Amino acid sequence: DAGVIQSPRHEVTEMGQEVTLRCKPISGHNSLFWYRQTMMRGLELLIYFNNNVPIDDSGMPEDRFSAKMPNASFSTLKIQPSEPRDSAVYFCASSSSGRDNTGELFFGEGSRLTVL
């Protein structure tokens, strides 16, 4: 298996522009998580999906952030409009939430976003 795949790996944009980050979870996994990592705040859970349905989006910082999961193999995290304080590394992770699930997450390599 190729693991969790994220794109782009690096994104540099200007304040006010729309940013879309993409994630393909591991095949067969039915839970998907979006995290943000910064030096100041560490690793923050933004939102997670189970069976393509958003379960908890309490970590989404504000209305400028939105996430979708139109099918089991694809999710997007969108920031519109972007601001310099959104600069961070955004990670996608997936897991299997079946009966034998013990909560282990598999992470992608991350998307490093820089908003100028």
Partner 1 sequence: AQSVAQPEDQVNVAEGNPLTVKCTYSVSGNPYLFWYVQYPNRGLQFLLKYITGDNLVKGSYGFEAEFNKSQTSFHLKKPSALVSDSALYFCAVVSGSARQLTFGSGTQLTVLP
- Contact between 106 and partner 1 by CB under 8 A: the answer reads yes
Report how many residues bind partner 1 under the rule CB under 8 A.
23
d(CA 11, CA 2): 22
For residue 94, give the H/E element and its range.
strand 88-95
Segment 30 to 69, residues that bind partner 1, using CB under 8 A: 31, 33, 42-43, 45, 48, 50, 55-56
Indicate whether 104 belongs to the interface with partner 1 (CB under 8 A): yes
Nearer to partner 1, 59 or 81 (CB): 59
Site string for partner 1, 12-31 (x = CB under 8 A): -------------------x
Among 7, 96, 97, 114, binds partner 1 (CB under 8 A): 97
Provide the minimum distance between the beta carbon of 60 and partner 1 in the complex, in angstroms, as a whole number. 14
Buried (b) or exposed (e) across 89-99, using 16+ Cβ within 10 A? Answer: bbbbbbbbeee
CA distance linking residue 116 with residue 105, whole number of Å: 32
Residue 25 preceded by cis peptide, ω within 30: no
